[in-house]
Amino acid sequence: MIDLASARERVLDGLAALTPTEAPLAEAVGCVVAESVSAREAVPPFDNSSMDGYALRSADTAESPARLRVVGSVFAGESGAIGLGPGEALRIMTGAPVPRGADAVCRQEYTEREGDVVVIARPVAPGESIRRAGEDVAVGDALLAPGDVLSPAHRGVLAGQGLTSVRVRPRPRVGVLSTGDELSDEPVLAPGAIRDTNRPTLLSTLAASGFVGVDLGRAGDDPGAIEAALARGLGTCDAVVTTGGVSVGDADFVKAVVAELCPGRAWSMQVAIKPGKPFTYGRTPAGQPVFALAGNPVSTLVGFELFVRPALRALAGHRDLERPTTLALCDVPLARRPDGRTHLVHVEVAFDARGRLHVVATTRQGSHLLHAVASANALARLEDGEGAAAGDAVEVMVLGPVATRR
């Protein structure tokens, strides 16, 4: 067997990020930025009021209460061409440009209107309730650097600069193929048939991870059919994932097909993990990774997390390839037997009231028990030995949202 670290190193070694492309902002959120972006406009572009109130000269409020003559109004979206002189004020709305002659805004709560006069209850400091031009962004400010992940807020920042697209590393397109004569999509299963759960599970897992899944359908246990399906996927995809056909059965043809498609760069491995021990990996002459995972559903999920997801994040240009990993206290025992392998156990984790992470439940274990692990939000890593007792700390990979239990 090959240890987990060596298998992962073999997968990740030499993987290069995909060629950058120009993408509309709406499609680029979550992608890795490929070039620096600097501000070409100030934000805000002009001094404006941060409150509804009255624009005035601060010096006119030195003695309070001050009585100022209201000479007009200014609203958001107006040019701000109107000005004011000593002893005058302008009604102003949030976002409206600060008029000429004004150096402060008194918020409405501290005023009282008497006809065309406004009474200012307290002194107003220069600059009060004014957003200065360039306060958020000045021309030339660095907005994004290569390697940054475009967030929803970044999209807003770029839209605020008048940009409609940005150069990013594209999301990898990943073909998903299920193999096996036993698989069926028929409404009524024939004797000996089972429904294909791996393909829909992987397609949704890819989407949740920020990648583009491409459904390659199913192929029976026939080398020609498997090769044709994989070749079709590699013609349009950046990577391909298959399930089934990688163990030592008489109908396990996938590893041989991968070896043909990836001459000199294919490895059929027995990884020292449970579940997911059989694993085949290859790299085509064009550099596309091919992942052939074990067919049992839980093995497929574990293989995706350990091998596929980190590699796809490398293709997408991410610096951080891994899900968050931390220690959690066991509220329940996680028993296992020594067998020379690392066990990956689906568990449920939660925070306590003090913010400490706990393993609060484990699932029924079995590489075929997909429903049993559907509610898990972490993978606990148990090294070879007797497992962990209640009260022990174990390493967990967090897969989903974590609640707080009180």
> What is the spatial distance between Cα 256 and Cα 185, in angstroms, rounded to a whole number?
26
pLDDT band at 248 (very low <50, low <70, confident <90, very high): confident
Calculate the average pLDDT of the chain. Answer: 95
Angle CA(288)–CA(294)–CA(299) in degrees, nearest 5? 115
Q: Are strands 173-179 and 239-243 parallel, antiparallel or unpaired?
A: parallel
pLDDT tens digits along 137-196: 999 999 999 999 999 999 999 999 999 999 999 999 999 999 999 998 888 999 999 999
| Per-residue pLDDT, 380 | 97
Does residue 3 have a pLDDT over 90? Answer: yes
Position 336 scores a pLDDT of 94
Q: What are the chain's domains?
A: 4-18+170-315 (3.40.980.10), 21-43+135-169 (3.90.105.10), 48-131 (2.170.190.11), 325-398 (2.40.340.10)
Mean pLDDT is lowest, of 146-160, 222-236, 321-335, 356-370, for 356-370
DSSP 97: B
pLDDT in tens, 392-401: 999 999 999 9
Strand partners, 177: 242
Task: Give the position of tokens 């246990």.
Answer: 221
| Least confident among 6-15, 19-28, 177-186, 232-241 | 177-186
- In this prediction, residue 367 carries a pLDDT of 67
Q: Which of 13-22, 93-102, 364-373 has the lowest mean pLDDT?
A: 364-373
Instruction: Kindly indicate the confidence band of residue 328, based on its pLDDT and cuts at 50, 70 and 90.
Output: very high
Mean pLDDT of 347-376: 88
Q: How far is CA 148 from CA 32, 143, 151, 260, in A?
A: 6, 10, 9, 38
Which of 78-82, 205-209, 286-290 has the weakest average pLDDT?
78-82
Tell me how far apart the alpha carbons of residues 137 and 157 are, in angstroms, rounded to a whole number.
Answer: 9
Q: Which residues contact residue 384 at a Cβ distance below 8 angstroms, ignoring those fewer than 6 apart?
A: 338, 339, 340, 341, 342
Q: What is the pLDDT of residue 363?
A: 82
* Cα separation, 290 vs 240, whole angstroms: 5
pLDDT of amino acid 334: 96
Proportion of the chain above pLDDT 70, given as a percent = 99
The 10s digit of each residue's pLDDT in 21-31 is 999 999 999 99
pLDDT band per the 50, 70, 90 thresholds, residue 80: low
- The answer to whether residue 365 scores a pLDDT higher than 80 is no
Give the residue among 297, 304, 366, 248 at the shortest CA–CA distance from 8: 304
Burial (0-12, 13-18, 19+ Cβ within 10 Å), 72: middle
Query: pTM above 0.75?
Result: yes
